[in-house]
Chain A
């Protein structure tokens, strides 16, 4: 339980800190410190066991089937990191309390820091690698919040985004790598992965796995060529830099290298990639650091260089090198965190970080200067300070490769050059800031900072000294268990001591120290050279270029995608349909024409078919004259209804006929407000293209229809014919299908109709369009809008039409008819009233509010269905009774007829709703004087 609690405490603590921060800065700092101590307290009881060499694993079930359980692991290496995270975290909390100015929101900083601390603890205490990745990404996200703390500054925003992009990219690559690793080993658990080294290294997926994981590690640890994000992240407040960019987050990358060292190392690929990357980073970081005038810039590049050094050590692949790597992780964390804090103090006191202006601080803050000098000496690798010890081990290890590799001698040589520059930039940090004349034009007058602000630096510097002078008494046990955790095996024989005699490594240290002093002495021409190259060698430039390119290309593509062109959508749709249809059609050889019998050929049918084709073609040709095209469209519909009639489908013919009438009337009404002709918009090539596509799609459709219709049909249709009367109580199979067998479809369709009515009402409600005063040819409308004869005739027709509608409705179950057709007939009759007498006249006599009618129709239909539920049958189960009525004769009364009534009401209601509101758009736009009489 302890490990889970240790990791979770900072996350929960983040909420606590955010809440407490309202009370004041001290309270916020105290809460943050308390949370850190609490997290440490969960860990404390486990320390003893870890020092005895046990590896503690805690498992909580999460997604066991996917190999993803919440699993924590505490071994020596994890403990080392946890101690650094918590210990330096505590110091940074104290330091930050003094660093920030009163107008900064400390609560936000501490909250972000708690989140980060929890994420980082999660990384180092994870047993499951996917879980490690989750925390890994969380460190990227929380560091985004911390780097962007001063979000009003451009460089803070840019630095944060850059860090997030680069480390986020690494995180995604790492995810891929871990997935592959899991695929190879069959588990994401470190215990399994660490034991499966041979299997992993021999696997064909080893190289991609390695590359992806290294991409993750290198981006996080700011290795060349991804190092540039780190200097740009210096826009963060200095406590953030001290914590994230020296001791913790950037160490996550090398942590991962060390963690997977037993699994991945020991191959030529590992050695070459990791050590070359480390070597390059070591050198580039050291050289660039010297030329940075920004205090934190210098430290950032120095960090890069030291991370390169650690990476190089792990890249060498020997157990002793790995041990040295772990040792340098500890040493670097202590001296670099204290240097960042010292830099923060100087920045805080002087108001600038430019070393060309900050000079002679020795006179103002000798105490801070002493602390900084100790830390800088450790950074330079001066004997008696901790940096010296690990650096000497490093030199020793580089010498080991001379005999093994062809150009092995390059390694110690480069190491010495980097060492020289490390001494030079450390010297510059001290000399430029604390001596070198008087300060130039400082924004503030510096003096020694608060005692509490120095305390964290003192603690860290004391550690540098203690470790540097008494390594065996201080760091040795911790280092031993940590290195054992890394190597997963016995430690190689080693001795950490200040004095090993006049070894080659000592000579290398001496050369570096002397050389560094010399380089610093001769810095002026070098600075001049650097000034000339300023900006040209920045790796940031290709990054900026790349990011701008990504956004630019994406924008270019998006603008071209997002044309809101309906024509293009339809073009692609038809093209896709054509491609899909053809792919199916030609997927296997097959005769186009099937073996089914064809109907006998008769000339009338041919004539009708030709008429249909001619009308359809004319619609296409004449589509610019909208009125004519619309009339031709009506003709197409009428011919279709004739075809229905010919094939003995009177219901369909009736429906088609009435639908056609209503549709054309509605379209005519809408057309009144639209231009009478469509302008030619397509270019000639595009017309040809569209024509070809249309012909192909239409031809394809025809081919499919031909192929299907010429094959003998077997379907469930016979069942409907036999069951219609005995089962559904109706002789009209079409109607029984509509209201009974597939009544649920009809319920859906009347809902669609109702929705269409409501939708159009919602769209037109309140819409006022200027009605054209004249037609397309400029002729004024006939002043007699509602001719008397027509009006009278239509009024006379109304009762007759309604009678027909009722008749059709009632007989529908047995003979052609039904609610749908009856509804349309009624609608047509009423539409004629509106057309002949005007909307206003008709509205005065007919209910204008059609919503209740629609709702009632839907309700009746639904209730009919629900009735059967009450009787214990499924929804929409129909029942019917046979009646004998004198005069009328025998007939069946089916519950489905009530359903049909619902259909009827919805059809009437929805159609009229649409019509009236189309009319109202028109009517109200006229001046009152022209209101129809």
Chain B
């Protein structure tokens, strides 16, 4: 049993504890420690990716208790893919946070590491209740991070976030309870076995439980109509937190994908997913067009990217899932880059902040402008960056589906709205300047911050250049997901879940 599977959980947990113990230490050391921990996670995630690349599914039985009785962690290609995405994103968000945001409140680094603990745990766990636990870790850590730095709008948005998500947790418990009551197990692989063999007088109840669980994950993913919490939370928190949160909605999307492919074998949830995803995409794009603040606009674009991602998953085919999985890291990095950039722009404009109104000429105007242009291209899914490849793959996957006209129509018109909205924002922020010079005490954007934005964009460029191999890998993920028997066997052994 390879400890590589649990290492991505232990590292941020220990780093978080250590940072809590060493909270009196000089901030520079703590930053270094936190960054080292994230780099370590990246290395671990890459090692894990290599270990599962051949299609092996690594199972880690915690406490050495056999599944389905103990909790197990399961590393397959999908989990590894998301771990790498998370670690890369975290690296940039943390580096940006270390430029000064971490001074704005208490325990930034502790919360950050434990948030990563929650994220990695959610991706790796093979147990429904354990997933609930990691959702709680995520929720509380993200609540703390959301509040970081304080302020009226931020506190209000965070309150909404935590209350609606606690309601989600309650529903999660209800659904998990129903599953346990009906099927007598919480292990995901075992659930898959039990669901497949469920008696007709329990089937509707199992479906109800499954759909309630879908409701919980849809809330996490911000699927319309459960998306109202997202714009406020993302638009008002600090920049590195917003950047890190670009992966948060993906946790919900991941859970939906896992649940629908593994436990329900591709049925049940799919029927609901596609229409809601398209609706989410549409609402996100309309919101982005109608926003009067840059960060709200980016938040709505995140919503739209959730819609795009779940549209891909909602196609239900290997091609659709593969396309979505290519799109996932892209949209995460692009949104993060735009959040960080928006912070730099807002910091230059005094009281105007990120409101989309003509303001003074910014410091490093051209650098900011070029970065904005590139970020906008990435976010709107225009060539030549990875967003276009993702969109192309998704549309291509949709073509042989009956829903093709809808998907094509919504995605393409959505792209046009994004283009119009971002062109207007860029024009107002960078072109339509008023003559007054910026306030004398306005700092120019630090090169390091802009470098991080450029770095996130470079990830998108790399994703474009190596689109072929990456696409092969996401296709392999999709095929693995659509053959859940491998997962079940890896967890329960060749018996496939016969109870002793």
Contacts and interface: CB of A to CB of B under 8 A. Distances in A.
A61 B215 CA distance: 42
B377 A588 contact: no
Contacts of B174: 701, 704
B108 to A, nearest CB: 9
Interface string A853-870: 011101100100010110
Contacts of A851: 20-21, 23
B221 to A, nearest CB: 13
A752 B133 contact: yes
Nearest to B287: A558
B211 A584 contact: yes
A584 B136 CA distance: 26
B431 interface: yes
Contact of A144 (B65, B232, B423): B423
A877 interface: yes
Residue in A568, A570, A707, A743 with the greatest tally of chain B CB atoms within 10 Å: A707
Interface string B481-500: 00000000000000000011
Interface stretch (A169-177, A252-260, A394-402): A169-177
Contacts of A585: 204-205, 207-208
Given A713-B181, A748-B136, A570 B69 contact: no
Interface in B419-440: 419-421, 423-424, 427, 430-433
Contacts of B500: 719
A148 B207 CA distance: 56
Contacts, number: 354
Interface in A147-165: 148, 151-152, 157, 160-161, 164-165
B121 A874 contact: no
Contacts of B144: 755, 758-759, 762-763
Nearest to A150: B431
A590 B399 contact: no
B424 A161 contact: yes
Contacts of B157: 564
B408 A179 contact: yes
A586 B70 CA distance: 33
A555 B290 contact: yes
Contacts of B431: 148, 151-152, 157
Interface in A690-741: 701, 704, 707-709, 711, 713-717, 719-720, 723, 727, 740-741
Contact of A587 (B159, B204, B214, B226): B204
Contacts of A717: 184
Interface residues of B, number: 130
Interface string A186-229: 00000000000000000000000000000000000000000000
Contacts of A287: none
B189 to A, nearest CB: 13
A559 B373 CA distance: 26
Nearest to B143: A759
B215 A576 contact: yes
Given A66-B471, A711-B201, A715-B185, A151 B395 contact: no
B70 A566 contact: no
B140 interface: yes
A550 B417 contact: yes
Given A576-B215, A715-B185, A742 B129 contact: yes
A717 B219 CA distance: 31
Given A148-B431, A554-B287, A716-B68, A580 B6 contact: no
Nearest to B60: A874
Given A717-B184, A752-B136, A759 B147 contact: yes
Nearest to A875: B6
A557 interface: yes
Interface string B20-60: 11010000000000000000000000000000000000001
A554 B417 contact: yes
Nearest to A719: B69
A701 to B, nearest CB: 6
B182 A584 contact: no
B479 interface: no
Interface string A830-865: 000000000000000000000110111011001000
B498 to A, nearest CB: 13
A164 B209 CA distance: 48
Interface string A550-585: 110111111101101110111011111100111111
Interface stretch (B9-17, B333-341, B451-459): B9-17
A68 B392 contact: yes
A64 B111 CA distance: 43
Interface of B: 1, 3, 6, 10, 13-14, 16-17, 20-21, 23, 60-65, 68-71, 105-107, 110-111, 114, 117, 121, 129-130, 133-134, 136-137, 140-141, 143-144, 147-148, 150, 155-157, 159-160, 163-164, 167-168, 171, 174, 177-178, 180-185, 200-212, 214-215, 218-219, 225-226, 228-229, 231-232, 272, 283, 286-287, 289-292, 296, 300, 373, 377, 382-384, 388-389, 392-393, 395-396, 399-400, 408, 412-413, 415-417, 419-421, 423-424, 427, 430-433, 467-468, 471-472, 475, 499-500
Q: Pick the 3 closest A-B CB pairs, nearest first.
A: A715-B184, A584-B208, A558-B290
30 contacts: A61-B468, A137-B383, A144-B423, A164-B423, A172-B413, A176-B408, A183-B400, A551-B289, A564-B157, A569-B164, A573-B226, A574-B167, A576-B218, A580-B211, A585-B204, A715-B185, A719-B500, A741-B69, A741-B70, A754-B114, A758-B110, A758-B111, A759-B143, A762-B107, A762-B144, A862-B13, A862-B17, A874-B6, A874-B63, A875-B60
Interface of A: 61-66, 68, 130, 133-135, 137-138, 141, 144-145, 148, 151-152, 157, 160-161, 164-165, 168-169, 172-173, 175-176, 179-180, 182-183, 547, 550-551, 553-559, 561-562, 564-566, 568-570, 572-577, 580-591, 594, 701, 704, 707-709, 711, 713-717, 719-720, 723, 727, 740-745, 748-749, 751-752, 754-756, 758-759, 761-763, 765, 851-852, 854-856, 858-859, 862, 866, 868-869, 873-878
